[in-house]
């Protein structure tokens, strides 16, 4: 599977004439999303620990809805989120869902990560009762014009590309008041941007199932004016069940919708050659991300302010990325320890991302790679094949035995892997955490995994200094 599967769509036109812009935006009525919610029975399915559920609860309560927040996790697990909601009038049903909540709901805000939502009995009960099903990101988009929306998805590189687009727009065109949200950044519901702001959305396949696919009502679908896909490779097959469904959800970003009559599909250029971009983040793949980000930013401005697009603007976007420092947990440099360079790439949750991380360094024979984690059903063969080329392949987590069978050194946990690597690393070597798997077997999320890695590195630094 790859981006060639998208060639059935009309090819991207490198420039969009101003006269096409009115045809892009639909005639959606203002406040249709979410509409008048005074007294509405609203269920937030999934309070979660990452902000989206909390923001949705606050937003709905502010609009006068009668809010029930429900989650399979218990109150202790959700303590930090519940603390943020103190003082908000909301009814909690935690430690499991109640069917009657969904049967009596007018509106359900679904956490996009809810597994197999098409067969979830609670969501089916809500559908059967005529409830409207939306997500936090659909609430946040509301009735914003499609020409103000940039959607970026893909299997790998979407986070960095989205952050680069936001960085470039903020640096060069501050008048557009660009905001970054979606699968990265905070909820737009907590800090609503001005009506004319440019919105950069990193969109996961889960989000797109609901936002642009067949998760909700057809009239609630929304796609952005600029629809960018970094790449496609098998991922999240435990959630999607089939490769075809995963691809369909990703590809839906470029489909017409009530919000956008004709999204402009962008794919990475086939050639990475071009004017230099002075990046501080390592790797040829990040240079590719940067070139794609510049193109996305240019085409977005072409939609909003076509007269301003010229070679000088492109050069300004390229120059602005010299101050882009990268994202936490994405090939993030943790400095040197006894002459050994350390990089945290905990956000790497696919084999393809791990291969890109390893390829960012000149000599793989100097890399001590830590890989493995939660089993999403992906083929880990490409990671296993690295074993003979690396200074060491160290396996952790649920998929550790699979990698160990192919020659990796198995470890009980991240700390023991770091201990083993420091016992054999030499000055000039690279210690790289790039798991190629999700974190849910041993950690709450990839951020927690990255912080645990950093703590293990810091422990060794203190031991050496002591």
> How confident is the model at residue 27, as a pLDDT?
47
What CATH class has 140-323?
A: alpha beta
Distances (CA, A) of 197 to 5, 74, 160, 233, 296: 32, 38, 21, 32, 16
pLDDT at 283: 87
* pLDDT score for 32: 56
The 3-state DSSP composition of the chain as helix, strand, coil percent (nearest 5) reads 40, 15, 45
Q: Residue 40 carries which DSSP code? A: -
Structure tokens at 422: 């420091």
Q: What is the pLDDT of residue 48?
A: 81
Strand arrangement of the beta sheet that strand 149-153 belongs to: 179-182, 199-202, 149-153, 226-229, 264-266
Between vectors from CA 432 to CA 325 and to CA 268, what angle results, nearest 5°? 55
pLDDT confidence of residue 271: 63
Each residue's pLDDT expressed in tens, for the chain with a length of 466 residues: 456 544 433 322 222 233 334 445 554 443 357 888 999 999 999 998 766 799 999 999 999 999 999 999 999 999 999 999 999 999 999 999 999 999 999 999 999 989 999 999 999 999 999 999 999 999 999 999 999 999 999 998 899 999 999 999 999 999 999 999 998 867 999 899 999 999 999 999 999 999 998 888 999 999 999 999 999 988 888 899 999 999 999 999 999 999 999 999 999 977 667 889 999 888 888 999 999 999 999 999 999 999 999 999 999 999 999 999 888 998 988 989 889 999 999 999 999 999 999 999 999 999 999 999 999 888 999 999 999 999 999 999 999 999 999 999 999 999 999 999 999 999 999 999 999 999 999 998 999 999 999 999 999 998 887 6
Nearest C-alpha neighbor of 151 from the set 209, 204, 226, 207: 226
Collapse the DSSP code of 461 into the 3-class scheme (helix H, G, I; strand E, B; otherwise coil) and give the result.
helix
b/e map 96-109, b = 16+ CB within 10 Å: ebeeebbeebbbbb
pLDDT of residue 465: 73
What superfamily in CATH does domain 41-134 come from? Answer: NAD(P)-binding Rossmann-like Domain (3.40.50.720)
Q: Are 83 and 117 in contact (CB under 8 A)?
A: no
Q: How far apart are CA 91 and CA 112, in angstroms?
A: 21
Q: Residue 342 burial (CB < 10 Å; 0-12/13-18/19+)?
A: buried
CATH assignment of 332-465, among 3.30.2320.30, 3.40.50.740, 1.10.540.10, 3.90.190.20: 3.90.190.20
Give the whole-angstrom CA distance, residue 5 versus residue 229: 12
- Which sequence spans correspond to the domains of the chain? 41-134, 140-323, 332-465
pLDDT value at position 285?
Answer: 86
């Amino acid at each position: 599977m790859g981006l060639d599967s998208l060639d059935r769509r009309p090819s991207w036109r490198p420039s969009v004439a101003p006269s096409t812009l009115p045809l892009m935006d639909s005639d959606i009525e203002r406040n249709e999303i979410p509409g008048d919610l005074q007294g509405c029975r609203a269920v937030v399915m999934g309070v979660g620990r990452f902000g989206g559920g909390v923001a949705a609860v606050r937003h709905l309560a502010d609009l006068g809805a009668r809010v029930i927040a429900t989650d399979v996790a218990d109150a202790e697990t959700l303590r930090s989120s519940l603390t943020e909601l103190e003082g908000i009038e909301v009814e909690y049903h935690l430690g499991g869902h109640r069917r009657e909540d969904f049967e009596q709901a007018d509106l359900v805000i679904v956490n996009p990560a809810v597994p197999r939502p098409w067969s979830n009995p609670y969501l089916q009960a809500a559908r059967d009762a005529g409830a409207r099903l939306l997500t936090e990101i659909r609430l946040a988009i509301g009735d914003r014009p499609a020409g103000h929306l940039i959607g970026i998805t893909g299997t790998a590189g979407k986070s960095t590309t989205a952050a680069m687009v936001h960085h470039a727009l903020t640096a060069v065109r501050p008048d557009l008041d660009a905001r970054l949200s979606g699968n990265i950044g905070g909820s737009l519901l907590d800090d609503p941007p001005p009506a004319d702001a440019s919105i950069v959305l990193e969109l996961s396949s889960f989000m797109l199932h609901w936002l642009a696919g067949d998760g909700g009502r057809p009239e609630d679908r929304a796609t952005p004016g600029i629809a960018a896909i970094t790449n496609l490779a098998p991922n999240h097959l435990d959630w999607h069940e089939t490769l075809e469904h995963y691809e369909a959800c990703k590809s839906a970003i470029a489909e017409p919708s009530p919000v956008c009559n004709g999204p402009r599909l962008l794919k990475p250029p086939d050639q990475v050659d071009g004017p230099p971009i002075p990046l501080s983040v390592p790797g040829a793949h990040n240079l590719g991300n940067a070139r794609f980000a510049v193109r996305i930013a240019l085409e977005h401005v072409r939609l909003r302010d076509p007269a301003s697009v010229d070679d000088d603007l492109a050069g300004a976007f390229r120059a602005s990325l010299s101050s882009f420092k990268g994202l936490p947990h994405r090939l993030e440099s943790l400095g040197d320890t006894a002459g050994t360079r350390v990089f945290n790439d905990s956000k790497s949750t696919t084999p393809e991302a791990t291969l890109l991380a390893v390829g960012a360094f000149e000599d793989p024979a100097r890399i001590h790679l830590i890989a493995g984690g939660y089993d999403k059903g992906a083929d880990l063969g490409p990671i296993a094949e690295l074993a003979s080329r690396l200074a060491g392949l160290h396996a952790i987590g649920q998929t550790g035995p699979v990698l160990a069978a192919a020659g990796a050194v198995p470890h009980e946990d991240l700390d023991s892997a770091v201990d083993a690597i420091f016992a054999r690393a030499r000055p000039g070597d690279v210690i790289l955490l790039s798991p190629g798997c999700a974190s849910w077997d041993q950690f709450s999320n990839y951020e927690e995994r990255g912080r645990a890695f950093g703590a293990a590195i810091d422990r060794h630094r203190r031991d050496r200094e002591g």
